[in-house]
């Protein structure tokens, strides 16, 4: 309930209502009303009604006991997970700048590596299929899509779980980082470059296309040499993913060690 309505139909009732409100403010409770509306009737109060206006005059009494709500009760009405997230975010602001920048912008470096891997895979497929046209149209998505996918995937499976307190195992964090690096920044760019360049090869007739029913076999055949050449890139992406996730987990452990003052806890 946001508003407490008090109706005063006479001077005596008005005095009693004021007394009751004062007693309510002295009780060891926190009243959750945002405001109090006190209605005075001029028929019973005459010219003594507030503001000297006719009819019903509404006076909003912003009493201290009616406005405040304790932090403890506020926390009790929220889910434990949201409290943990707010607490970790509060601690995050107290980290050194180098740690905050690494946690915030670290996934971008993994994304740039994914974009670079996409350009390399695109170049390999263009050579295999003798494609010389559409350099920009094939190169742009091969750089942008792996970058966005890798950053979003890392944020979803590593950064966000760490800041929400759902991920507290170093081995699991490293495994997730490695998978993001390999799948998002390595395998995905290769699989994306294949149909793009196969479509260009079919359009400009730069390579013999397979008959119907043999498309999958053709895709596997031309992908094998590219995967062999990209093996070192996949290993590097796994290494970068493990390194970044390890650093992020170390930052998460710093967050857990930071103490929060009582005033900061009440602000949550």
Once rounded to an integer, what is the mean pLDDT over residues 169-178?
96
Give residue 257's pLDDT. Answer: 87
Comparing CA positions, the residue from 264, 244, 263 lying closest to residue 252 is 244
The structure's pTM equals: 0.67
Pick the range with the lowest mean pLDDT from 63-72, 208-217, 253-262. Answer: 63-72
In this structure, the chain runs to a length of 268
Whole-number average pLDDT of the chain: 78
Strand 56-61, strand 3-8: pairing:
unpaired
The neighbour count for residue 65, using CB atoms within 10 Å, is: 17
Q: What percent of the chain has pLDDT over 90?
A: 46
Once rounded to an integer, what is the mean pLDDT over residues 28-39?
50
Computed over its alpha carbons, how large is the radius of gyration of the chain? 33
Top-confidence residue, 26 or 67: 26
Give residue 71's pLDDT. Answer: 46
Give residue 39's pLDDT. Answer: 56
The single residue listed with the structure tokens 């390399």 is: 120
Answer yes or no: are the C-beta atoms of 244 and 150 closer than 8 Å: no
Q: Is the pLDDT of residue 70 over 90?
A: no
Q: Is the pLDDT of residue 91 over 80?
A: yes
Burial of 244 (0-12, 13-18, 19+ CB in 10 A): buried
Tokens (6 digits) for 164: 């929400």
Tokens (6 digits) for 139: 């190169």
Give residue 53's pLDDT. Answer: 39
Give residue 127's pLDDT. Answer: 93
Top-confidence residue, 49 or 210: 210
The neighbour count for residue 262, using CB atoms within 10 Å, is: 8
Answer yes or no: are the C-beta atoms of 154 and 177 closer than 8 Å: yes
The DSSP result for the chain, as a single string, is --EEEEEE-SHHHHHHHHHHHHHHHHSSS----SEEEEEEEHHHHGGGSGGG-SSEEEEEE--HHHH---HHHHHHTS-HHHHHHHHHHHHHTTS-HHHHHHHHHHHHHHHHHHHHHHHHHHHHHHHHTT--S-HHHHHHHHHHHHHHHHHHHHIIIIIHHHHTT----HHHHHHHHHHIIIIIIIIHHHHHHHHHHHHHHHHHT-SPPPPTT-HHHHHHHHHHHHHHHTHHHHHHHHHHHHHHHHHHHHHHHHHHH----HHHHHH-
How sure is the predictor about 50, in pLDDT bands with cuts at 50, 70 and 90?
Answer: very low
Sign of torsion over alpha carbons 151, 153, 154, 158: positive
Q: How far apart are CA 139 and CA 119, in angstroms?
A: 6
Once rounded to an integer, what is the mean pLDDT over residues 163-172?
90
Give residue 258's pLDDT. Answer: 84
**3-8, strands of its sheet edge to edge:** 3-8, 35-41, 56-61
Q: Is the pLDDT of residue 44 over 80?
A: no
CA distances 12 to 8, 17, 178, Å, are 9, 9, 77
Q: pLDDT tens-digit profile of 216-238? A: 888 899 999 999 999 999 999 99
Answer yes or no: are the C-beta atoms of 139 and 119 closer than 8 Å: yes
Q: pLDDT tens-digit profile of 106-129? A: 999 999 999 999 999 999 999 999
């Amino acid at each position: 309930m946001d508003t407490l309505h008090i109706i005063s139909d006479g001077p005596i009732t008005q005095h009693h209502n004021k007394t009751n409100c004062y007693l309510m403010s002295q009780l060891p409770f926190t009243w959750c009303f945002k405001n109090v509306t006190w209605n005075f009737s001029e028929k019973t109060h005459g010219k003594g009604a507030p503001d000297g206006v006719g009819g019903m005059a509404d006076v909003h009494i912003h009493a201290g006991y009616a406005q405040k709500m304790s932090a403890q009760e506020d926390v009790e009405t929220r889910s434990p997970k949201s409290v943990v997230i707010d607490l970790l975010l509060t601690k995050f602001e107290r980290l050194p700048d180098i740690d905050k920048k690494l946690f915030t912008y670290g996934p971008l470096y993994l994304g740039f590596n994914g974009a670079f891997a996409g350009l390399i895979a695109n170049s390999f497929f263009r050579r295999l299929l003798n494609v010389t046209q559409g350099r920009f149209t094939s190169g742009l998505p091969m750089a942008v899509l792996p970058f966005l996918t890798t950053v979003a995937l890392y944020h979803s499976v590593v950064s966000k779980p760490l800041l929400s307190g759902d991920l507290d195992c170093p081995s699991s964090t490293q495994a997730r980082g490695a998978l993001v690096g390999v799948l998002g920044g390595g395998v995905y760019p290769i699989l994306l470059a294949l149909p793009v360049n196969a479509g260009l090869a079919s359009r400009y007739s730069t390579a013999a296309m397979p008959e119907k029913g043999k498309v999958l076999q053709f895709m596997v055949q031309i992908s094998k040499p590219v995967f062999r050449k990209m093996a070192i890139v996949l290993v590097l992406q796994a290494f970068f993913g493990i390194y970044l996730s390890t650093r992020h987990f170390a930052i998460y452990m710093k967050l857990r060690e930071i103490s929060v003052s009582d005033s900061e806890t009440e602000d949550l």
